[in-house]
């Protein structure tokens, strides 16, 4: 069943989206229409939620100077149209304040619209890591695929597919921290499997104490150990937020680092030691 789905469904959608349409639904050049921007609505199945403002502005400038070279693809929706592919171009044209946009009108099902939106963004690597994981998950459900089958179809490694999908197990706040680059992919992978509460506490500690991936690995290992004493120790270590103390000491001209539950001050000479003692005693 999955193989049949791949044969006509997902497999036929690989490669550039317009090439896929050219193979399945040949279009003549005369079929490209000029459609009013206001008559087009975004694809409701678009997996991409964020668009780089700077990149859109650059594309808008290019469209003003050279026009839109590649038409978007739409499907008729009553007396209006719905985007199938090309939302970034559509948004850039709106930014460039053009009144119309070049478009190819096709006739496809809602399921095909969803597939095309997913494949276009995956192939063009325009999704952030969480959106990519969600796109993989949706394709797996739509076509009843294994991780291995999806990996072969998308020409990715099974390890990549599995590790990306595992990110969906993270708490939403942790996912946001990852997208905001407050934590790294290395930090995120280590926290998979922890409770939501432990994930949030760990994330706050990573950000506040600038913990390394190795620090987090050590803490997670201690959390998962059966020893209640080790859990107590790592809990205290994780909960300490020394960021403000570190900043205050640095303001006085001392070199100070915070790691876990430890605060380290480096003194250049005895004079710095005496100056620090004077501040503490005052």
Active site residues: 87
Q: Among 99, 146, 154, 97, which Cα is nearest to 125's?
A: 154
β-sheet bridge partners, residue 101? 35
Q: Among 210, 216, 247, which Cα is nearest to 234's?
A: 216
Which residues make Cβ contacts (< 8 Å) with residue 215, sequence separation at least 6? 259, 260
N-to-C CA span, the chain: 78
What span, in angstroms and rounded, lies between the C-alpha atoms of 236 and 134?
Answer: 35
Which residues make Cβ contacts (< 8 Å) with residue 143, sequence separation at least 6? 2, 5, 6, 9, 10
Alpha carbon 150 to its chain's center: 19
Structure-token match 């706040």, residue found: 173
Residues present in the chain in total: 282
What span, in angstroms and rounded, lies between the C-alpha atoms of 111 and 148?
Answer: 23
Alpha carbon 242 to its chain's center: 30
């Amino acid at each position: 069943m999955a193989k049949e789905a791949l044969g006509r469904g997902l497999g036929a959608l690989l490669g550039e989206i317009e090439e896929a349409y050219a193979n399945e639904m040949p279009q003549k050049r005369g079929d490209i229409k000029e459609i009013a921007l206001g008559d087009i609505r975004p694809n409701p199945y678009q997996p991409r939620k964020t668009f780089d403002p700077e990149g859109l502005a650059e594309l808008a400038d290019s469209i003003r100077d050279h026009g839109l070279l590649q038409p978007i693809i739409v499907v008729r929706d009553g007396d209006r149209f719905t985007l199938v592919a090309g939302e970034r171009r559509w948004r850039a044209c709106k930014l460039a304040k053009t009144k119309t946009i070049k478009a190819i009108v096709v006739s496809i099902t809602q399921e095909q619209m969803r597939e095309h939106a997913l494949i276009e963004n995956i192939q063009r690597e325009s999704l952030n890591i969480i959106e990519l994981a969600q796109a993989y998950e949706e394709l797996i459900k739509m076509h009843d695929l294994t991780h291995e089958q999806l990996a072969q179809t998308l020409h990715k490694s099974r390890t990549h597919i599995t590790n990306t999908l595992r990110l969906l197990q993270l708490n939403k706040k942790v996912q946001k921290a990852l997208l905001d680059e407050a934590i790294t992919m290395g930090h995120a992978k280590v926290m998979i499997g922890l409770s939501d509460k432990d994930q949030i506490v760990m994330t706050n500690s990573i950000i506040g104490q600038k913990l390394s991936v190795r620090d987090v690995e050590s803490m997670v290992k201690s959390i998962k150990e059966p020893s209640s004493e080790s859990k107590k120790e790592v809990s205290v270590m994780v909960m300490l937020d020394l960021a403000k103390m570190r900043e205050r000491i640095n303001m006085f001209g001392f070199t100070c680092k915070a790691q876990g539950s430890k605060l380290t001050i480096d003194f250049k000479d005895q004079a710095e030691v005496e100056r620090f003692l004077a501040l503490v005693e005052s």
